[in-house]
Chain A
Amino acid sequence: DTEVTQTPKHLVMGMTNKKSLKCEQHMGHRAMYWYKQKAKKPPELMFVYSYEKLSINESVPSRFSPECPNSSLLNLHLHALQPEDSALYLCASSQDRTANNYYGYTFGSGTRLTVV
């Protein structure tokens, strides 16, 4: 299995809703990431988990709450979002940078989030 699987593929939520995005990989990667991407822009890093511990939070508002239940799963909990949070949310995973067979990040297909 060489994929990062994200669910759902599309999500529409109101500003008072609580929802979660899910990400799963079975490649044995020990680093997992959440990125946010606006149309025709590069991905922007939000969070990094390394060995199931949060190692980087790029000053993301608290209405986004990440969780890493185990080495294969990564969640992003959403609450009280704003319309400007509408974007493609990408999950990615990677091996340790020092691994001999490091091949960069593997990205999922993303969740297209619309906040109404």
Chain B
Amino acid sequence: GQQLNQSPQSMFIQEGEDVSMNCTSSSIFNTWLWYKQDPGEGPVLLIALYKAGELTSNGRLTAQFGITRKDSFLNISASIPSDVGIYFCAGQNSGGSNYKLTFGKGTLLTVNP
């Protein structure tokens, strides 16, 4: 089946620094999604990308849908302590399995004040 490689697995940064994480896939997706999950909570959708090459921002977050449709990145600028959490990328396709999300393994972000 499809697999997503998400990197890095974890990051330790100082408050105010920028962060970048990415996902690559062995096959194409029609949609890329980025979620953040706090401990004991469900994943919260940060950004959804629908078109190859699309670059979308949500406040300090910026994400891009790769031209090949096999990759995506998420950047966080000027990190703050509440950015701490696990970030997951997820890919989705249309068609018979259009309801399935394929998740990356997550990036654990720690921000030191």
Which A residues fall within an 8 A CB radius of B?
Answer: 4, 6, 31, 33, 40-43, 45, 48, 50, 55-56, 88, 90, 92, 94, 97-98, 102-110, 112
For A109, give its contact among B41, B92, B108 (CB under 8 Å). Answer: B41
Closest 3 interchain pairs by CB? A42-B103, A107-B42, A97-B98
Q: Does B11 contact A (CB under 8 A)?
A: no
In the docked arrangement, what's the CA distance between A88 and B42, Å? 9
SS class, residues of chain A in contact with chain B? strand
Interface residue ranges of B1-56 to A (CB < 8 Å)? 31, 33, 35, 40-45, 48, 50
Q: B92 contacts A104, CB within 8 Å?
A: yes
Q: A42 contacts B105, CB within 8 Å?
A: yes
Q: Does B88 contact A (CB under 8 A)?
A: yes
Q: B33 contacts A42, CB within 8 Å?
A: no
With an 8 Å Cβ cutoff, the count of chain B residues facing the other chain is: 26
| Distance from B94 Cβ to chain A, minimum over Cβ atoms (Å) | 6
Q: A109 contacts B94, CB within 8 Å?
A: no
Which B residues fall within an 8 A CB radius of A?
Answer: 31, 33, 35, 40-45, 48, 50, 86, 88, 90, 92, 94, 97-101, 103-106, 108
For A104, give its contact among B48, B98, B100, B108 (CB under 8 Å). Answer: B48
A-chain residues with CB within 8 Å of residue B45 when the two chains form the complex: 103-107
Q: A110 contacts B42, CB within 8 Å?
A: yes
Interface centre among A6, A94, A105 (most CB of B within 10 A): A105
Interface centre among A6, A31, A40, A102 (most CB of B within 10 A): A40
CB closest residue in chain A, given B40: A112
